[in-house]
A and B are shown apart, each in its own frame.
Chain A
Amino acid sequence: MKQKFNVITSTCVPLPLENVDTDQIIPARFLKATTREERFFGDNLFRDWRYKADGSLNKDFVLNDPTYSGCILVAGKNFGSGSSREHAAWAIAGYGFRVVISSFFADIHKNNELNNFVLPVVVSESFLAELFESIRKNPKTEVEVDLPKQTVTNKATGKSEYFDINGYKKHCLMNGLDDIDFLVQNQKKTELWEQQRK
């Protein structure tokens, strides 16, 4: 969904595991849909961690813990590794997350988040560790993500970091534009390039 992005302030859901792969974010058996049903994918986000094998709720998993809520997911290093399935980004968006904070993202998944108006925010290892600690001490800890200024702030400690995003993508996110709009507008340029190549 094309949601315009500006400043987001929210409490967080912490997932302090490393190497969370897209098979965990959305298992392959939920990839059979032929439409972009974000609700369906969101309902099955982290399916096999949220539910036990017998279908009952796994009360130990963070998404089932009412202590934690908000539209910011905070995850350990190397988030979204493995399969290129964009369904993982649809599941994250469908669940209601607008931002994912981690110290490191897998390449394809990072692009998939951006293409679905979910903002991946890369922070330093120390910022991430401190944020997990703040959330552990106070689950109502808020984080402010300011896209225009490209800053992320842990409101519990007041610590702030600058995060990287290229100017083009920032413009797209803030204005609800996507890459397909851009590429279609540039078809003439592509045709010219094809002719010159021959």
Chain B
Amino acid sequence: MHIVVCIKQVPDTKNVRIDPDTHTLVRQGVESIINPFDMFAMEAALKCKDQSGARVTVITMGPPQACEALRDTLGLGADDAVLLSDRAFAGSDTWATATTLAAAIRKIGDVDMIVCGKQAVDGDTAQVGPEMAALLDIPYATFVKKIEMEPNGSLRVVRQTDEGVEVWKLRLPALVTVIKEIGDPRVPSLRHKMRAKKTQIPVWGVADLDLDPDRTGLCGSFTQVVHVFSPPRRSSRIQLEGSTENQAEQLFQYLKKSGIPGL
């Protein structure tokens, strides 16, 4: 059993702020973290490894410094890591990202399961996982909260929907995207961290993946950002005053006037 986990480095949103003059995102000095949902993906893969001795490989597409994130996942217990890094990957939309990741999965070869986080917290698209599965022509399940290995080369998953939960059986190879309920990420162990220090992390570029540079990065993207701006400010807050009963009365009247259902 070989599991590949796809991760992304994202700016730590705790520190993201908007420049009041240019209304753009200030990324300078903002620390990078592993996308929180990808930490759940790591946990899901490592749980499978605990149970069935699966091999876990972690991949990410990003700048050279993304190597740090990969080393952190080795510290958690992943066996191998590969960095996909090339100038030609810059500016990728979800399609171009999925194309690049799918090429890496093909190069790795014997992959039985791919685990991704539900979405990255910077872009919030939740598209790369399903697009990658489509490109690899494998089945997938999104918003998964529980994974069980079945003996006959299939996977039993519980997925969260807007209406409740669904239990699905997927034929392997397959891809899953996971949510928080899969389990809290473990902490790195000293043994794994020692090994992580010594592990070589190969870097693959366009040539290694046998990709046409015109099909990667911004040139290979179908969507294009034409305008970035600050969200309109919320109308200024109304602060309710007076006694508790008085405040309750005011709030009731305001909400009634706004046409809130149930009032």
- Is the pairing of A and B real? no
- List residues of B whose CB falls within 8 A of some A CB: none
By a beta-carbon cutoff of 8 Å, the part of chain A in contact with chain B is none
